[in-house]
Amino acid sequence: MKDVVVRSLEDARDHELVRRVKAGDEGAFLELYRRYSPLANGLALRMVRLPFVAEEIVQEAFVALWRDPDAYREERGSFRAWLLSTVHHRAVDAIRREEAQRRRGRSEAFERVVEDVAESVVEEADAVRSRDSVRAALREISPDQRQVLEMMYFEGKTQSQVAQELDIPLGTVKGRTLLGMRRLRGMLLEPEA
């Protein structure tokens, strides 16, 4: 093994932690994660601009370290530089994948626009029939059940909001929802005579 020039106490501490990671020390791994994940996440976030993607990139970089700690070589520089380089490369890969997906999406969107017009006319006619069937079925259920379902599905309210607005127990709202949906399903799924 070559002699490694340690530039700072921080580098020496990092080198020791990496050596312990190579020996399977989870505590050393967690210490490196605690020390560098905020910095790595900041870099990834600046590059990809999506927090969940940035977190995934950082996790992938640390998992790579855990699986192959020999990938970091002390003689090439500090652990910090190596980790940030790894995160940078993974972020660039993520950006390239996203761009490729966007290009494929544009191509698929163009193909969808060119699809058969007759198919969209049939789908629209089916949608009108379906809406009419649902409206007719709604007229057939009890007014209490209809009110709860309309508030939830047409006004976008939660069951808790409906209960509060109607000043009734949440259990009553849940019961009306369940019974109303069962009745609607029964009416809408009955075979037409």
For 23-68, the pLDDT digits (tens) are: 999 999 999 999 999 999 999 999 999 999 999 999 999 999 999 9
| Among candidate residues 110, 137, 161, the one where a domain is terminated | 110
- Domain of residue 19 covers 9-110
Q: What is the CATH number of the domain that holds 145?
A: 1.10.10.10
Query: How much helix, strand and coil, in percent to the nearest 5, is found in the chain?
Result: 80, 0, 20
For residues 130 and 89, membership in a common domain is answered with no
Q: What is the mean pLDDT of residues 158-164?
A: 91
| Among candidate residues 110, 130, 165, the one where a domain is terminated | 110
For residues 101 and 165, membership in a common domain is answered with no
For residues 56 and 123, membership in a common domain is answered with no
Confidence of residue 136 (pLDDT cuts 50, 70, 90): confident
Proportion of the chain above pLDDT 70, given as a percent: 84
Q: Tell me how far apart the alpha carbons of residues 29 and 14 are, in angstroms, rounded to a whole number.
A: 10
pLDDT given for residue 193 in this prediction: 47
